[in-house]
Structure formats: structure tokens, C-alpha cells
Amino acid sequence: MNRIDKIRAIRQILTLGKPSIGSWIQIPHPSTAEIMGQAGYDWVAVDLEHGSISVHQLPDLFRALELGGTLPLVRLAQGQIKDCKHALDAGAGGVIVPMIESAAQLIQVRDACRWPPAGTRGVGFSRANLFGKHFDAYTEEAQKPILVAMIEHILSIDNLDRILQVEGLDAILIGPYDLSASMGITGKFDSPEFITAMDRIKTLCVQNKVPCGVHVVKPDEFVLQQRIAEGYRFIAYSIDSVFLNTSVNKPNIN
């Protein structure tokens, strides 16, 4: 798979105002990643924040996703410089950054993801450039990998206008559970307060011409279509572990 072509294709989808649908991996096994990579998603994010996945497992998970033409992304555990370097050097096409609360925080992560002159990330041979074989070709990708900021706290909304103006931001992704938890209404997605917060985020994204995304945690095609109709454009559809949980229960037999 040519990563830079896939990155361009996803950006083109978002520029045209169409939805880019991806998913999530928490189970650290290449067979699971291979199944997810063949499922037709534009991208699949490997979860280093809540999944039990280690950095040394990333190359094999990425290879399995790439077999199906699916771009591997990484949700960072935090936004530390070493986390950005490890994920991207392993071959991620971009990062999803949790708990972004200010423009300054996002700029620091963005710069840590980019090779100079665009950023400050260390330059070297790695799996991302096939250990130097594709060094020159990788230079373009290393200047601007995909960057998605997660909005997961009610206080982040106060700073969202400035966050959305950060150069290089490809999309916002709302984390519904953390956002609702920060409001003292964990998981109560039908709450008027939560709906108001979601609408405020989406409105600011539209005003700043940045695609707004959301995580549809439980697999439900009706809800997915609803979210698309509501204007969400960067959508994570469920998680490998949730797909398994929703299908694994023993059937009721009379």
C-alpha cells in the first residue's frame, strides 16, 4: 500500500465534504488487524491509550492493516514527543491525539510529528521509509502526516475556536464518553446538556471549515447514518473488541 496516496485520498474525501469512515483496534494481534484491514474502512486507528498494545507490536499490526489497503493511524496514549516519533517511525500515516485542550498543546504535538523544516521530529531510517530504501519518497509524508485532535472535555470547547485554527489540523474527533464524563453525565448521550455541547463543537467546526468527527462506539448502521446526516465527517465506527462483544453471546435456543 502506498501510504501517501491513501493520505491524499482521505484528505480529498474530507475536502469534498464527504464522510471518511474508519474504525478502532484495541486487541494486540495481527490476525485481528488483518480482519479489520480487509473490512473496507478508509483507516483504522490502533489504540495506544486504552488498548493493551505496545509500541513494538505496531509494525506487525500496521502490516496486517496495509494488506487490505487500509491506512493505519495511531491514537496516542498522550501527546508526548516520543509517542509521536515511535508511532510514525513504525509506519502510522498519522495520529489521533487525545484530550486536546488548547491550541498550544496541539501545536506542540503537530511539530513533534513532522520532520524539519515543518516540525521538530527527529529524522532517520525507520520502518516508515523501509529503513532508508524509500527515504526520499517518505519526505513528503513526514512533512504533514494526518493530524486529528480529540475533543473530550467540556473546558476544551472554550478554546476550540483557537484549536481549529491550528495549521495542519485535518479533523476533530469527539470522544463522547470522556466528554460526557467531564460534564458529570457519563454515557448519558441523550442529555440536553450533552447534545448542546456536541452541537456547539460541530458549529465551531463548520465555521472554521474543519471536518468534525465522532466515535460511534456501538456498531449500529442506523446511528452511523444519523451521524452522517447530522454533518459528522470523520467517523470512527466501533472497535474490534466491541464488534466481538456484540456477536459472541451464545444464542438462545428453545
Angle of helix 30-37 relative to helix 58-67, nearest 10 degrees? Answer: 30
Active-site option among 50, 86, 134, 215:
50
SS3 of 121, please? coil
Q: Whose CA is closest to 175, among 254, 82, 246, 76? A: 76
- Do the beta carbons of residue 172 and residue 211 sit within 8 Å? yes
Residue 157 to residue 151: CA distance in whole angstroms: 8
Q: How many CB atoms lie within 10 A of CB 132?
A: 11
The C-alpha cell at 128 is: 516508515
Length of the chain: 254
**Alpha helices (runs of H) in the chain, residue ranges in sequence order:** 3-15, 30-37, 58-67, 81-89, 103-113, 135-143, 160-163, 176-182, 192-208, 221-229, 240-247
- Do the beta carbons of residue 144 and residue 169 sit within 8 Å? no
Residue 242 to residue 216: CA distance in whole angstroms: 11
Q: Look up 50 and say whether it is catalytic.
A: yes
- Catalytic center residues: 50
